[in-house]
Chain A
Amino acid sequence: MEHQVMPKKKKKKWKHWLPLYLMGIPGMAYLLINNYIPLYGLQIAFKKFNFNKGIWGSKWVGFDNFEYLFTSVQAFRITRNTLLYNLAFILLGMVLGVTVAILINEIVGEKIKKFYQTVILLPYLMSMVIIAYLVYAYLSPTNGLFNSILNTFGIEDINWYGEKKYWPFILVFVNQWKNIGFGMIFYLSSILGISKDYYEAAQIDGATKWQQIRKITIPLLAPTIITLLIISMGQIFRSDFGLFYQIPMRQGSLMPVTDTIDTFVYRSLMQKPNMAMSSAAGFYQSVVGFILIVTVNAIVRKKSKENAMF
């Protein structure tokens, strides 16, 4: 009897899953074409790339293209800056994003809610080149708005573009200012998905707002937070080129605190472009990101299996 049931059940299961697989086909096919087939280009990082010979025909050169990333005197500084800024961006982005999402959720009037959301998203829509001009309008040593405000209080001009101690704060501020609207939206959509029942029950029990946020909102946001955290681990060796290149106006004296892997690669190859060497930098960033994402995911899986991504 069991003999006959088993295959039948399996068959039924297969039939059950089939529509799901069918639904996944267009997306997976797109990934295959858009992402997987071009992956053979990764070998450029290990070759002396020659257009005439093509990607496959170019000569292998081992790790030659990676050399400039590690032999340079700036190797330590760019790695440190990239990592520390990204950690600050990730943590602050999470705290601020969740806070703002919760606050917006507290607003009752629909119109004003829309207004806040639209306005806070505004900076996200501007390009870094434009933002660099605006930041300069505020910080310019000669006719900047900040210095004229300082002057009215009797404080002397600050040479913003000459003093590196201000720049970690400026860069973190600009980053958060630009991206907070974007981050907030994701958390807000998760909050909106939380059933009102939970809150009603809590209110009947006499829970305060703060208790509701701590006991209901945050725990239910945890999967989103953890997912975004794991994803950002994969990007931790990449940096927002526009932010670090445009906003400090390429000032040499600020570079100890503004130089990251991406700006370094750009500056190194600007004068003599070399596709293989820039591929090598990308490959290096990917490998580090890959190791981190797998590690963090493994840790998460140990703590709570369902929140792991794979």
Chain B
Amino acid sequence: MRRSDQKYWELSAHIVLIIMSFLAIMPFVLLLIASFTDDKVALLQGYSYLPKKLSLAAYGYIWNEAQTILRAYGITITITVIGTLVGMMITTMLAFMLSREGLPGRKVLNFLLIFTMLFNGGLVPQYILYSSTFHIKDTLFALIVPNLLMNAFNVILVKNYFQYSLPTELFEAARIDGASEFTVFKIIALPLSKPILATVGMMTAISYWNDWQNGMYYLNNTKLFSIQSILNAINNSVQFLATNSIEGVRMDEIPSTTVRMAICVVGVIPIIIAYPFFQKYFVKGITMGAVKG
């Protein structure tokens, strides 16, 4: 009886998820095909699953920039790895502190954290601080530090996990054994929190991967451009020239809209490849939980 209940649930889950996957994949397939569509055909007939004529021109344009793009991938990977590691460290430590009930001043600190999600001083004061006081312009720090390193949302998620999803008895037992808070954090909290750490880690990594704003504000040296900064620059050229008429610019120098599709593909594919590796931690997290709990 129970088995058939389980089967029935799994079957319906499959049906729903297959429909959802279909909805998610079909536009992506269209994106892929659009990036291979001949420009003129796209202009005249729009994008379709069965374009009249295929072309590699969009990728040809990107290939022209191959050297730049490879260097940019290198920079993106560097900042994503460093930023995610450092970010996760300070995020989990802060979350652990805020998750400890009874900590004097905890409520005030919690409020201070949430406040940052509501109010911000805007770009100009932040830029002045980072560029004039910390001199991060045209350094890798510019791509790592502003806004992305830690955010209140992630801290709250990890904090909640520590607070509600981990068995409090484990903490108490360890503390009675005389373990310091830091030991409790390292030996108990972190290893048991892999699902949320993988989640938050991946979200941080994606935000590093997709960021172009820090590059736009703080970089003039194109050699430090990350992949999204480059893609964004190309994208902006197309966009700008589509909405502004500036004389003296030769339009044939500019790749057209199919390039944007190709750009999106180039930006997304590495994430799709990397994502399953992150998911491994989900699985590990479950087994861990099962053993200890």
Once A30-B150, A42-B119, A103-B16 are accepted as A-B contacts, the answer to whether A195 and B28 lie under 8 Å apart by CB is no
A196-B24 in contact (CB<8A)? no
A38-B129 in contact (CB<8A)? yes
A286-B289 in contact (CB<8A)? no
A17-B289 in contact (CB<8A)? no
Min CB distance, B181 to chain A, in Å? Answer: 5
Q: Which of B109, B129, B206, B239 meets A125, CB within 8 Å?
A: B206
Min CB distance, A297 to chain B, in Å? Answer: 9
A95 at the interface (CB under 8 A from B): no
Interface-facing stretch out of A21-29, A62-70, A160-168: A21-29
Q: Which of B93, B104, B126, B260 meets A26, CB within 8 Å?
A: B93
B114-A309 in contact (CB<8A)? yes
A193-B110 in contact (CB<8A)? no
B110: nearest residue on chain A (CB-CB)? A310
A181-B126 in contact (CB<8A)? no
Once A19-B180, A133-B260, A310-B114 are accepted as A-B contacts, the answer to whether A195 and B293 lie under 8 Å apart by CB is yes
B289-A231 in contact (CB<8A)? no
Once A35-B116, A41-B125, A42-B121 are accepted as A-B contacts, the answer to whether A130 and B260 lie under 8 Å apart by CB is yes
B24-A142 in contact (CB<8A)? no
B251 at the interface (CB under 8 A from A): no
B156-A23 in contact (CB<8A)? no
Q: Which of A118, A195, A208, A290 meets B272, CB within 8 Å?
A: A118
What 0/1 readout, one digit per residue, does chain B (139-172) give for beta carbons within 8 Å of chain A? 0000001110110110111001101111100000
B161-A133 in contact (CB<8A)? no
Interface size on B, residues (CB 8 A): 105
Enumerate chain A residues within 8 angstroms of B196, measured Cβ to Cβ: 189-190, 193
Once A35-B120, A310-B114 are accepted as A-B contacts, the answer to whether A203 and B2 lie under 8 Å apart by CB is yes
Q: Which of B8, B13, B157, B182 meets A104, CB within 8 Å?
A: B13
Best-surrounded residue of A31, A44, A209, A290 (most CB of chain B within 10 A): A31
A148: nearest residue on chain B (CB-CB)? B48
Q: Which of A38, A39, A106 meets B13, CB within 8 Å?
A: A106
A110 at the interface (CB under 8 A from B): yes
Q: Which of A21, A131, A133, A190 meets B34, CB within 8 Å?
A: A133
Classify chain A's interface size: 35 or more
Once A16-B181, A103-B16, A209-B5 are accepted as A-B contacts, the answer to whether A108 and B10 lie under 8 Å apart by CB is yes
B276 at the interface (CB under 8 A from A): yes
What 0/1 readout, one digit per residue, does chain B (185-199) give for beta carbons within 8 Å of chain A? 100000001011011
A194 at the interface (CB under 8 A from B): yes
B107 at the interface (CB under 8 A from A): yes
Min CB distance, B65 to chain A, in Å? Answer: 19
B122-A282 in contact (CB<8A)? yes
B6: nearest residue on chain A (CB-CB)? A209
Q: Which of A30, A136, A309 meets B149, CB within 8 Å?
A: A30
A1 at the interface (CB under 8 A from B): no
Enumerate chain A residues within 8 angstroms of B17, measured Cβ to Cβ: 100, 103-104, 107, 116, 120
A290-B116 in contact (CB<8A)? no
In the assembly, what is the distance between CA of A107 and CA of B112, in Å? 40
In the assembly, what is the distance between CA of A224 and CA of B165, in Å? 10
Min CB distance, B45 to chain A, in Å? Answer: 6
In the assembly, what is the distance between CA of A200 and CA of B283, in Å? 19
B25-A234 in contact (CB<8A)? no
A14: nearest residue on chain B (CB-CB)? B104
Q: Which of B161, B163, B275 meets A118, CB within 8 Å?
A: B275
In the assembly, what is the distance between CA of A82 and CA of B257, in Å? 31
B286 at the interface (CB under 8 A from A): yes
Enumerate chain B residues within 8 angstroms of A20, measured Cβ to Cβ: 96-97, 100, 103, 181
Enumerate chain A residues within 8 angstroms of B112, measured Cβ to Cβ: 28, 31
Once A126-B268, A137-B30 are accepted as A-B contacts, the answer to whether A23 and B181 lie under 8 Å apart by CB is yes
Enumerate chain A residues within 8 angstroms of B113, measured Cβ to Cβ: 31
Min CB distance, A209 to chain B, in Å? Answer: 5
A192-B46 in contact (CB<8A)? no
Could you give 24 example pairs across A and B, Cβ below 8 Å? A17-B104, A26-B94, A28-B109, A31-B112, A37-B125, A38-B129, A107-B10, A116-B20, A119-B25, A120-B20, A120-B21, A127-B264, A136-B46, A137-B30, A137-B48, A140-B46, A180-B20, A186-B199, A190-B195, A193-B193, A196-B289, A227-B157, A286-B118, A310-B111
List 18 other contacts, CB 8 Å, given A26-B94, A125-B210, A180-B20. A19-B180, A23-B94, A27-B94, A33-B129, A41-B125, A42-B119, A103-B17, A120-B20, A125-B267, A126-B27, A127-B264, A140-B46, A185-B199, A189-B282, A196-B290, A224-B157, A231-B114, A275-B122
Q: Which residues of A contact B (CB under 8 A)?
A: 16-17, 19-21, 23-24, 26-28, 30-31, 33-42, 44, 55, 99-100, 103-104, 106-108, 110, 114-127, 129-131, 133-134, 136-137, 140, 142-145, 177, 180-182, 185-186, 188-190, 192-197, 203, 206, 208-209, 220, 223-224, 227, 231, 234-235, 275, 279, 282-283, 286, 289-290, 293, 309-310
